[in-house]
Structure formats: structure tokens, C-alpha cells
Structure 1
Amino acid sequence: MSVVSSKSFSSLRIAILGGGRIGSAFAFHMARKTEHEVTIVARPDSTRLAQLQRDGGVVTTTGDHVPAIISERLDESIPYDLVLVTVKDYQVKALLPALKRSAARKIQFMFMTFEPEFLQQAVTIDRAALGMPFFQADFDAQGGLRIIVGKRETLTDDPQWAQIFRTAGLPARHEPQMALWLRCHVPLGVAFESVAVAAEKRGKGAPWSRARALAIGIRACFAMIRGQGYDIYPKDKARLEKLPVFAVAGMLWGLSRVPSFRTLLVTGKTECCALVDDMLASAATSGQSVDLDAVSAMKPTS
């Protein structure tokens, strides 16, 4: 397994795959407070690629600028210390062959996924790392980045990179059971995204019937995960599993009435549908007796 010496923390070569909100926020922090060489790989012919090329890096809404190398494809020959993958789970499969061929020493996947082991095996276990970002970021009309970093810590199963993220100004901690954490987080993440879509469609909070359907779906997903031989992790999700449906529905119903919650998650409709499909496929592959209708009903309604 590759090891990054603590003496070299100030001079790492990092490629960030994905020039969107999360990838740009990582790039800003990794390049601003350190001497890391940061490359941002954005989608070819995209508006965001053009913005990054125009600015020569990331520009925030407050006018701060950090330089970065901008590219439309990952240079597989460069032995990056880290390739940080910030695209969505449904977008990453097309990128896995290039990541597998890459000379990168570590490949960190930073998004919700119900198939973390598949990603690890695709790029080899010793190079793979899993994580979940916990900060907010969005763009203004000119492509300026707005970042809100709170106290909640970004998670990674690589303790060295957790330390490097902290050094760059991003609260982070090592989560040794990251694969299980991600698997158990997907049902809740899907419910959050789906209830936000329902709320935004109405221009106010989601209806109780929608919140209740999502609460039933969470319960069915947790039952499926247990049926596949996993525990529900961490403890807060295990406690959530034991709550009555009306209590979980009440939580979702209340959150859907918070404007900032809706704004943050309403863009996840495509991701939400893809994750539900992954859970349904997982149940079919394992031959489980699962309430598939309840899981399928978690998809955002059109």
C-alpha cells in the first residue's frame, strides 16, 4: 500500500475528477492553504470547463482565486499522490477504466454509493479509498464558488488523507468502516433527496403521504441490508431503524419545510433514481424477499 510521508504534505500532486461544486471546493482548499499542485478535470465541452479555463482555477463569490491546472481528461501517466473522484455514482462507471490504468498512488471516491466494494475492486483494493464530503458549495450566475464549511467532518477510510484534508482547512476524520457507512447511508440520502424534490415541486414542504412513503422505503432498505448480512451502521442509523414509521416520516416532512435543505438537495433527482435502481438490482441479485415496491417508490415523482 502506498504511503504519503508527512514531510511531503506541503507538496503533493492531486487531480480532482469533477469540476462541479464539490470538486471545486476541494480544489480551492487543497490549493489555497498548501503548496499542492492541483489539477481539475472537468467534463469536455461543458460550461464549467470553459469557466475554469477562463479563470485559470477556482474563483469564489468573494473574489478569492486559487490557480489550478485545468484539463478535460485525466492524464493516466502522471503518478498523482491522489485522484479525488467527486462525480456522482451513476457517472463514475464510464471513468473506471481510465482510473484503473492511471498511475495514481491513491484514488479516493467521494460520493454516495451502494456498491463501494465494486469501486474498490475496479481500481485495486490497495489504491482505493472511500469517503463522503460534508460541506456545502454552490455557484452564482458567473460561476463564482460559494463554500460553507461547518463543524461536521468529511469522512474517509484513509487516516493520512483525513489529516491532509484537515491541514487544508476541511474538518475531516478517519472512518474505518466507510464501506458499510456508505451502504447504510444510501437509503437515508435517497429519502432526503426525494423529499426535497417533492417539496420544491410544490413550492413548499412535501406532502405527508410522500414523507410516509419514503419512511416505509427506508425501513425496507434497511431490512434488505440486514438480509445481505450487514449490520446497520453507525449507531444513529441503527436507532433510526427502530423508530416507528410516523416518526421517520415526521422528520422528513419537517426537513422538507426548511428552504436551505431543499436548495441543497433538490438537484439530486437523477442521482436518486440511479441509487434506487442499484438497490433494486442488489436485492434481485441476492434473491432476497424484499418489499421492492416500497424501495422503488423512493424515486422522485415526476
Structure 2
Amino acid sequence: MNIAIVGPGAIGSTFAYHLARAGHDVTVVARGQRLAYLEKTRAIVTSEGERAPVLVSGALDTQTPWDLVLVSVLDHQVDAVLPTLSQSAARQVMFMFNTFAPFDRLRDAVGTERFVFGFPAIAAQLQEGKLKAQVIPRALSFLQITIVTDPRWAEIFSKAGIPTDTQPEMHSWLRTHAALVAPVMTTCLRAYQRGRGLSWEEAREMAAAMAEGFDLVRSLGHRLTPSNLETFSKLPAATHALLFWAISRSAAPATFANQGPAEARALIAAMATAAPGQSARLQALRP
């Protein structure tokens, strides 16, 4: 397969590494310092010193009939690349990022027949340009696993070492996920910045914000997805608060802190836009 990856940050680089090692022809499209680093190495290099050779470019070649263009950028960055994706001769375009917004603008830009969406179950970071990544294995799929809307790419990614399942209800899944992770991210940022865990009262506020987010998702006509989150949402509020209290005292804050506040802010803002007047608790906690 001839695959281009737009946005080879930690997640994009993980896909580039595994796909290249699996024998696919991978071109990474980068900019700034990441482009300069990749132009020197011409490979995705791991923190252990392993290498996966890739081609490197500062712009997506719109004339190449890529089997797949994988777009791994943040939601607020994607509009800048939509015109290029629209002109691209790629057979399929997969967007892979956290979002609460409707898919319409993405699908309209590339066409329904080319549109694919995915979400990674990968913990990854770049350290001085080198990739340190942990792919969630299939054995832990009851927690989360990488998901895509197209079973063909689920099979290709799985064979490349990134266990992947198909999720036909991706929009519901993403909105449910946003309602869950926005207060989790906020919890981690607060704990990391202060160097200590949340108070019990703060943990209760986070739990109430999460419940508000779940209610918002339902009000937009979605089921909580996957279904085990519907069961989770019905647990006592004190149990949810205890979860946030424990998260703030775990190793999670240092991991999420690397992402900064931008993603949590964007998710909460998108929820407020989608359902005006239904996200007061979430907005009060917005980092």
C-alpha cells in the first residue's frame, strides 16, 4: 500500500513506524521542526534506536493516487489541510483525531466514498524527535482499542501491529468519548500543575461535569457508545467522584499534561456549541 501520513506527531509517527515496518510505502508530510528532523533521519526513530525508513515531504502531493492519506492532526488544525485533501487523488482519506463536531465538513471535503474516520488507542510521545509509543493490545480491548469505520483498514492496521476494530457508530463513540475525557484531561492538568491531587469537592465537580456531558450526548440523539459506558454512567455519583480523585493521584496527570489544555478546551467549546445552555458545569471547569 502507498500511504501518506499528514501530521507525523506522536500518533501519526506510530502509524508510520508500524506501517513502514510491515512493508507499506509510507510518506510522512510534516512541517517545522518535525520536518527538519525527519529530513535528516529519513526514518521514524524510536527511543530504543529502532528505525523504520519513510519518505519525507513538506506538502502532500495531490497528484499521487495514495491508497490512503491518514490525517493525524488536532481538530482545530484540520481546516487548513481540507483544500489540499479535497484536490488529492487519494483513494481514501482517514481522519484521526479527537472531536465532538459533526463529520459534515470533513465528508463534504473529500467525498462520502473516500471518507474514513478512526481513533487511536495509543499512548505515545516524541522525545527529542524520537518516538516512544505503547500500542494498546487486543487483550485490553475491553478498555479501549484503536477503531476505524472501514473494516479493510482495521485488518491492515492489525496486521501491521496496531490491533484495530471496526466501529460503525463512530460519531456516537466520539461524542461519548469527549464527554468522558474532557473532565479527565482537566483533572490531570490541574493535578500536574499543582503537584497534588484533587480535593474531594473538586472530584465531585468533575463527576458532575462528566454526567452533564453524558446527558448532553443523549440529548443530541446518540446512545452512549460503547454500551458499557451506559452502565458506567449509572453508577453512583460518589463512585464517579472517587474515580476522578484516584486519577488525580495516579501517573495519568504527567501523561495528559504533555498534551496541554488545548484539546480539553476545544472539546468543551464544541459541546457548548452543539447544545447551547447544556454545559454549564463543563464550561466552569474549562482549563
TM-score w.r.t. length of structure 2: 0.92
**Contact kept in structure 1, 2:150 and 2:166, CA below 8 Å:** yes
CA distances 1:242-261 after superposition (whole Å, capped 9, x unpaired): 123222121111112112x1
For 1:6, the equivalent position in structure 2 comes to: none
Q: Distance in 2 between matches of 1:205 and 1:70?
A: 42
Structure 2 letter corresponding to 1:55: T
Structure 1 letter corresponding to 2:112: I
Q: Distance in 1 between matches of 2:107 and 2:99?
A: 12
Aligned with residue 64 of structure 2, among 78, 88, 95:
78
1:265 aligns with 2:265: no
1:294 aligns with 2:286: no
Length, aligned pairs only: 279
Shift of 1:33: 2.0
Shift of 1:116: 4.1
Q: Give the SS at the match of 1:91.
A: helix
Residues 183-262 of structure 1: matches in 2 within 5 Å?
183-259=175-251, 261-262=252-253
**Contact kept in structure 2, 1:27 and 1:58, CA below 8 Å:** yes
Q: Distance in 2 between matches of 1:228 and 1:220?
A: 13
Q: Give the SS at the match of 1:145.
A: strand
Q: Distance in 2 between matches of 1:148 and 1:117?
A: 28
CA distances 1:84-141 after superposition (whole Å, capped 9, x unpaired): 111111211222222122111111111111124222333222211111101221222x
TM-score w.r.t. length of structure 1: 0.88
Q: Give the SS at the match of 1:204.
A: coil
RMSD (CA atoms)? 1.5
**Contact kept in structure 2, 1:276 and 1:298, CA below 8 Å:** no
Structure 2 letter corresponding to 1:183: R
**Contact kept in structure 2, 1:33 and 1:168, CA below 8 Å:** yes
Q: Distance in 2 between matches of 1:156 and 1:138?
A: 22
For 2:51, the equivalent position in structure 1 comes to: 65
Q: Distance in 2 between matches of 1:222 and 1:67?
A: 43
CA distances 1:127-185 after superposition (whole Å, capped 9, x unpaired): 11111101221222x32111212324211111000000011111111112122111111
**Contact kept in structure 1, 2:179 and 2:217, CA below 8 Å:** no
1:56 aligns with 2:42: yes
**Contact kept in structure 1, 2:65 and 2:91, CA below 8 Å:** yes
Q: Distance in 1 between matches of 2:80 and 2:199?
A: 37
CA distances 1:252-296 after superposition (whole Å, capped 9, x unpaired): 11112112x122211241011011111111113xxxx52x32121
1:17 aligns with 2:6: yes
1:137 aligns with 2:124: yes
**Contact kept in structure 1, 2:176 and 2:217, CA below 8 Å:** yes
Shift of 1:217: 1.4
For 2:269, the equivalent position in structure 1 comes to: 277
Residues 36-115 of structure 1: matches in 2 within 5 Å?
36-43=24-31, 46-115=32-101
Q: Distance in 2 between matches of 1:233 and 1:79?
A: 34
Q: Give the SS at the match of 2:47.
A: coil
For 1:180, the equivalent position in structure 2 comes to: 172
Q: Distance in 2 between matches of 1:133 and 1:257?
A: 25
